[in-house]
Amino acid sequence: MSQQPGRGERGSNRHPDRRNTQGRQRNRGGHGENRGPRKFSQSAPSQRSRRADPARLVAFRVLRAVALDDAYANLVLPHEIRRAKLDKRDAAFATELTYGALRAQGTYDAILAQNVDRELDQLDPPVLNALRLGAHQLLAMRVDDHAAVNETVGLVRDQVGTGPSGLVNAVLRRVGEKSLDEWVAQLTAEVGELDALALRYAHPAWVVRALRQSLKLHGRGEDLEQLLQADNLAPEVHLVGLPGQLQPSGAESLEQALQAGARPSELIDGAAVFRGGDIGRLAGVREGALRVQDIGSQWVARALAEPAVSPGERWLDLCAGPGGKAALLGALAAEYGVHLTANEPAAHRAELVQKALAPVPAEAWSVRTGDGRTIGELGTQFDRIIVDAPCTGLGALRRRPESRWRRQLSDLAELTVLQEQLLDAAVGVLAEDGLLAYVTCSPHVAETLVQVEDALRRHSDLELLDAHEVMTDVALPAGQELLGSRPAGSSEVAAKTVQLWPHIHGTDAMFFALMRKAES
């Protein structure tokens, strides 16, 4: 690989919350080892590198796309890495830099604001993005200080022009004068506990508040810091081998994944955990019988689909895009001789659902492209329905580094109305004695417990089942143990529903409620 000037050792994937507490004397290892006080280049910024380092340029491009086009970093990054033809090591560096700078953006902005002589929103957006990248290298990566500053200045000269390079140089030098812990200590000296946690763990304060409330109501009030820490770690890759008589078989594909280094899930059957490695090279993934899917998602889909199925049932996935749960439900539907309708309003996402279901025998499923609120137009009653509702996604912050800063508290109002309407539409097409699963990848109380309580109030013919029991039934022993006991003194809805957590279950923070429509 090409030797990057002074980049230092890469790949620590560390985050602000997990950094050492040794202050300025930290050993950064590798050829960029830095054991003493920080050293910066003596040459003026204008005399330094004009060329942007390709890995840093990739990170810069992704941050620009996220800011300007509302792009998702996890979708843009692989494309930019391919475009720049980065080798494996540079790709890992670009990934850590991109995700780290995006995830900790709020914390870095607070630090930068201490060192810039104007409001941050008065800086050119590309300059601010470059400063965030520089801050992440200085404060959370094993990169030599002078390389972090010089390369960021070079990036700015190459991509923005020489004008702002002096400012970038000066600001980053000041940022590099303290460790992250020292900056956080300074910034949190006079703020309340919640704001201090928000800064330390790089979450917006309203998100910390929402997570704290949800943890409390689920009897885990002590866990807040652990959860915030878990949100900042890259998730492991979870795989599902689709069940049933598929060609090729999901079970065989899963076996191949295990031989390639994956380990079987301890929580549920048919799942595996893959750590480091290119999943694209697994034949099963290319052929579709082996899919990447969070184990929490698999777990709730199985909990709806496994209990006492009768052939000929009709199932509905009301919010199916991009098709993760639909693929698993479709494969189970084919196995049990039932039919799945997968509904999704966004045409491009409905296409993804079609693609996800492609390995499943076609007679077992169909896709409807339409608004879930109009599902009654089909004139069909369904025996099992999953409403995997559009939500804030606060339970999947590990996966989408930028999402915590993009989401606003005000989004909740619109989303909770939509969730309510989708639940009502689902109840309208639920057959007597039929099962309705309500799922979110958010633990926000307004999207979870409150939605279920309100739905039960609006629909007196709905009965809340014990989702805890159903999820325990489809879990392996370790999964049963991890589900644990119900929170003491919680409401009936909290006791009968399940909230998974990244720091406990290693899954997204999925919420699962199961209801049945009474026979009249």
Ligand X SMILES: C[S@@+](CC[C@H](N)C(=O)[O-])C[C@H]1O[C@@H](n2cnc3c(N)ncnc32)[C@H](O)[C@@H]1O
How far is it, in rounded angstroms, from Cα 487 to Cα 220? Answer: 8
Nearest distance in Å: CB 211, ligand X: 18
Nearest distance in Å: CB 10, ligand X: 32
Among 101, 127, 320, 332, interactor with ligand X by CB under 6 A: 320
Q: Which is nearer to ligand X, 182 or 424 (CB)?
A: 424
Pairing of strands 382-388, 365-369: unpaired
Among 17, 335, 344, 508, interactor with ligand X by CB under 6 A: 344
Nearest to 310 by CA among 434, 427, 428: 434
Nearest to 88 by CA among 141, 11, 192: 11
319 is in an annotated binding site: yes
Q: Rule CB under 6 A: say whether 402 interacts with ligand X.
A: no
Q: Helix, strand, coil % (nearest 5) of the chain?
A: 50, 10, 35
Q: What are phi and psi of 53, to 5 degrees?
A: -65, 130
Site for ligand X in 85-114 (CB under 6 A): none
322 is in an annotated binding site: yes
How far is it, in rounded angstroms, from Cα 82 to Cα 97? Answer: 16
Q: Rule CB under 6 A: say whether 369 interacts with ligand X.
A: no
Nearest distance in Å: CB 484, ligand X: 25
Q: Is 391 designated active site? A: no
39 is in an annotated binding site: no
Nearest distance in Å: CB 248, ligand X: 22
Among 297, 403, 419, 451, interactor with ligand X by CB under 6 A: 297
How far is it, in rounded angstroms, from Cα 157 to Cα 126? Answer: 11
Among 16, 243, 284, 323, interactor with ligand X by CB under 6 A: 323
Nearest distance in Å: CB 498, ligand X: 17
Sole window of 1-9, 124-132, 160-168, 320-328 interacting with ligand X (rule: CB under 6 A): 320-328
Please give the size of the binding site for ligand X, defined by CB under 6 A: 21
Residue located via tokens 């633990």: 443
Sole window of 61-69, 216-224, 238-246, 318-326 interacting with ligand X (rule: CB under 6 A): 318-326
Q: Rule CB under 6 A: say whether 325 interacts with ligand X.
A: yes
Q: Which of 131, 230, 441, 449 is catalytic?
A: 441
CA 244-246-249 angle, to 5 degrees, is: 90
Q: Rule CB under 6 A: say whether 371 interacts with ligand X.
A: yes
The amino acid at 90: D
Q: If you ran DSSP here, which 8-state letter would residue 514 be given?
A: E
CA 501-220-497 angle, to 5 degrees, is: 60
How far is it, in rounded angstroms, from Cα 65 to Cα 431? Answer: 46
Q: Rule CB under 6 A: say whether 345 interacts with ligand X.
A: yes
Q: Which is nearer to ligand X, 288 or 390 (CB)?
A: 390
Among 19, 373, 399, 516, interactor with ligand X by CB under 6 A: 373
Q: Which is nearer to ligand X, 137 or 392 (CB)?
A: 392
Binding-residue pattern over the window 9 to 48 for ligand X, x denoting contact by CB under 6 A: ----------------------------------------
How far is it, in rounded angstroms, from Cα 483 to Cα 220? Answer: 12
Nearest distance in Å: CB 364, ligand X: 17
Q: Can you list the alpha helix ranges (DSSP code H) found in 223-346?
A: 224-231, 250-259, 283-287, 295-305, 324-336
DSSP of 370-433, one letter per residue?
Answer: S-GGGGGGG---EEEEEEE-----TT-TTT-TTHHHH--TTHHHHHHHHHHHHHHHHHHTEEEE
Q: Rule CB under 6 A: say whether 54 interacts with ligand X.
A: no
Binding region for S-adenosyl-L-methionine: 319-325, 344, 371, 388
Residues that bind ligand X (CB under 6 A): 297, 318-325, 344-346, 349, 371-373, 388, 390, 418, 422, 441
Active site residues: 441
Binding region: 319-325, 344, 371, 388
